[in-house]
Amino acid sequence: MRILVEMRCGSHLYGTATPDSDIDLKAVYLPSARDLLLQRSPATIVESRPKAHGERNRPGDVDREVFSLQRYLDLLVGGQPLAIEMLFAPDSVMTVPPDGIWRELQAAAPRLVSRRAASFVRYCRQQANKYGIKGSRAATARQALAVLEAAERAYGAGSRLDEAEAMLETLAAAAEYVALVDIEVQPGRLARHLDICGRKAPFHAAIKTARELAARLVAEYGQRALEAERQQGIDWKALSHAVRVGHEALELFTTGRLRFPLATASHLLRIRRGELPYTAVAEEIELLMERAEAAAAASVLPAEPDLATAETVIIEAHRRQILEDET
């Protein structure tokens, strides 16, 4: 096994590590010629301390995940955040000097990183839906609940949601965070869903099911507002991740690259320690989502990755490895 690169990721990459942080190593390897020809090289190798069920890492614990070159490039051209972060990681987090093949990949970054990285924005949107307490979102949940209660009275609790399509179309036209979306549920087959603040109910579901979904949202937003006032029951670590990803998405889509350690590292640490008001952090996540979505739409990144470049890197690396092993 030839290690092309190994680095400290997570908090050690972001600049947010504390004495309690564990060590998260990520690496990319090139299989031997024998393993390549016999097609027995694993896509991913995971190494960590054995733990009891539910046991968390202790300070200083080391988790190591090693990707084959082909697996890593699949993740990279697919726009996966981890692979993109690894590509732009500085030498200061490397545990060994990077191989020349890794340098070739870094040089090819403008052709390999594309708008497929929209998974950054999707994550940010999910977190905004989960943690945001924007008044218009709470109002939308209450508005949707009222419409679904009326539909349930008109058509019956067991009736399918599609029977109330006209009422839902009116709702979607009037409410900021309601939409009727078609989702591919099987290859070539779309199914219509009601989307309320990021939560979805298929049209074949009962009206009662959608009404219960809306009722849960109303209750969650109400509870979240109370938690914001009391500063209780808040997952500050998850909030800091949401803010981090939002800033990363904004930088990536605006500049075409990422810089580490993050300029926002001290801000993220304050969020993680619960030193900022929940409402301020929730508003920041909302704003970051909106800015990241706008940046993605006008991004400097190419629409698609150059798959030919990725394939050439794999082919040439494997070819050279086979020739070197033979000699």
pLDDT confidence of 324, banded at 50, 70, 90?
Answer: confident
pLDDT over 60 at 174, yes or no:
yes
Helix, coil or strand: residue 304: coil
- Report the 10 Å Cβ neighbour count for 57: 16
Q: At what angle do helices 69-77 and 307-326 cross, to 10 degrees?
A: 170
Helix (H, G, I), strand (E, B) or coil at 153: helix
pLDDT at 52: 62
pTM, whole model, 2 decimals?
0.74
Average pLDDT over residues 156-169: 93
For residue 24, name the pLDDT band (cuts at 50, 70, 90): very high
Query: According to the per-residue pLDDT averaged within each range, which of 58-62, 175-179, 305-309 is highest?
Result: 305-309
Per-domain boundaries in the chain: 2-114+302-326, 120-128+234-297, 131-230
Domain 2-114+302-326, CATH 3.40.1000 — does that match? no
